[in-house]
Amino acid sequence: MPQLKECPNCTSSFSCSADRPGCWCQDVHVPGEALDDLRAQLTGCVCRSCLDRFASEAAEARAHEAAGEAGTRVPGALVQVRGLSKLWLVGGVLLLLVAAAVALTVGPMPIGVGEVARSLLSHVPFLGVKSHLGPAEDAIVWELRAPRLVLAALVGGILALSGSSYQGVFRNPLADPYLLGVAAGAGLGATLVIAYAATGGSRGLLLPLAAFAGAVAGVGAAMLLGASLGSRSSGSLILAGVAVAAFMTAIQTFVQQRRSDSLREVYSWLLGGFSGSGWHEVGLASPYIAVSAVVLLLHRRLIDVLGVGDDEAATLGINVKHVRLAVVIAATMGTAAAVAVSGLIGFVGIIVPHTIRMLVSTSYRAILPLAALFGASFLVLTDVLARTLLSPSELPIGVVTAFFGAPFFALVLRSTREQSP
């Protein structure tokens, strides 16, 4: 039987089973010296709240000591947001640079890193560095590989960033950037152009515009429908997205069926990829992607606040509706721009945020910047694989992201689950 004792510190009564294993006091860790001090001051057991307080004070004193040894004692140092260390950001930037180097040098015509660097520096005035590359090699690096690399980085970064933002504002770990009808809308826009526009130069210009317009229209319709349902929860917006996507996909399938000659082209567009991308596509997409990325990154702390629920976030002074709207609009813009120039590339917007969540931090303050960096590197490297594995023919990049991404994801999932059962 647990004994009823009186706490020698605060005189309140509490139950104690210190004579048997399994007493609650064994769950409270008081560091050695602090426990000795406590035993010297008081005789017998103390109550739970007093022991908690002692343990807390001892842990605090210890943290301050540790900080004192390292330099100065920092007030507020006990409260930290995980994963915002410079180490991860620097690591992300380094990985992106390595990925860029790989993307510029690997291909049917291998070109050394040194040569590429010399060529890059030769474009900087007043350095006097001369490129050793011939005109053909120079064109391969700067007209074929470089725009493709930049576009893959932009698209990978914004897809991962939008995906994590959606997961945050909808508090749904399975949300991806295509959640609210972006994919169906873009697919419909692209299909209409491929099926009905005359082939030729103007079609190349029209396709990304139609895909972008379709994506924005899809999300716009979903948001109007969601708002008209009048619910305060985010669930109705997601359901509205499902309805709009189904409707648009139905039209797209109908058009595709009527014009079966266009089937192959539509299908290959839907699979996504960067073959034939040049600086033109980079110019088209980058303004939208840049603005979207800046807006999303600025909202990273507010997305964390939304994590406590709409009502509680509101009592913390946040206008939940406005924050969610701003994030959804920004993420949609970015995703629509990415889809317009690269088609539907699956998996990036889910796998990258979740990997960061499992390995680094669950705070969006860390997830958002890291998702942008690692998403960019991930897509640059998978694009290299897509164009080299079966060279000279190209694999659809969505196949590569899933083929290599899924096993990696499973591995991370397994290893983190083993650590924390």
Partner 1 sequence: MSAAPTLPAGPSAAADSPSAVRISGVSATLGRTQALRNVTLEVARGEWVALIGANGAGKTTLLRSVCGLVPFTGEIAVDGLIVGSARRREIARHLALVPQIPRTPPGMTVGEYVLLGRTPHIGYLASETKADRVAAEKALRQLALVRFAPRQLGSLSGGELQRVVLARALAQEAPVLLLDEPTSALDLGRQQEALELVETLRAEVELTVICAMHDLTLAGQYADRLALLDLGRLVATGPPRELLSEEVIAAYYGAQVEVIHRDGGVFVLPRRSRGR
Chain residues binding partner 1 by CB under 8 A are 14, 29, 48-49, 52-53, 55-60, 63, 75-82, 171, 298-299, 301-302, 304-305, 307-309, 311-319, 357, 362-363, 365
How many Å apart are CA 178 and CA 191, to the nearest integer? 17
Whose Cβ is closer to partner 1: residue 296's or residue 339's? 296
N residues, the chain: 421
Helices then strands, each counted (H, E), the chain: 17, 2
To the nearest whole angstrom, how small is the minimum distance from the Cβ of residue 420 to partner 1? Answer: 9
How many Å apart are CA 112 and CA 291, to the nearest integer? 35
Whose Cβ is closer to partner 1: residue 81's or residue 205's? 81
How many Å apart are CA 122 and CA 113, to the nearest integer? 14
To the nearest whole angstrom, how small is the minimum distance from the Cβ of residue 22 to partner 1? Answer: 15
| Residue 16, strand partner residues | 3
What are 161's two structure tokens?
Answer: 């960033």
To the nearest whole angstrom, how small is the minimum distance from the Cβ of residue 372 to partner 1? Answer: 17
Whose Cβ is closer to partner 1: residue 76's or residue 392's? 76
Whose Cβ is closer to partner 1: residue 53's or residue 259's? 53
How many Å apart are CA 254 and CA 260, to the nearest integer? 10
What are 246's two structure tokens?
Answer: 């189904």
Task: Count Cβ atoms below 10 Å from residue 46 Cβ, excluding itself.
Answer: 23
CB 208 within 8 A of CB 340: yes
Residue 148, CA distances (Å) to 142, 143, 380 in order: 9, 9, 8
To the nearest whole angstrom, how small is the minimum distance from the Cβ of residue 104 to partner 1? Answer: 35
How many Å apart are CA 55 and CA 63, to the nearest integer? 12
Whose Cβ is closer to partner 1: residue 167's or residue 256's? 167
Sign of the CA dihedral running 246, 248, 251, 256: negative
To the nearest whole angstrom, how small is the minimum distance from the Cβ of residue 14 to partner 1? Answer: 8
To the nearest whole angstrom, how small is the minimum distance from the Cβ of residue 345 to partner 1? Answer: 27
CB 188 within 8 A of CB 248: yes
Whose Cβ is closer to partner 1: residue 299's or residue 324's? 299
To the nearest whole angstrom, how small is the minimum distance from the Cβ of residue 237 to partner 1? Answer: 19
Whose Cβ is closer to partner 1: residue 75's or residue 201's? 75
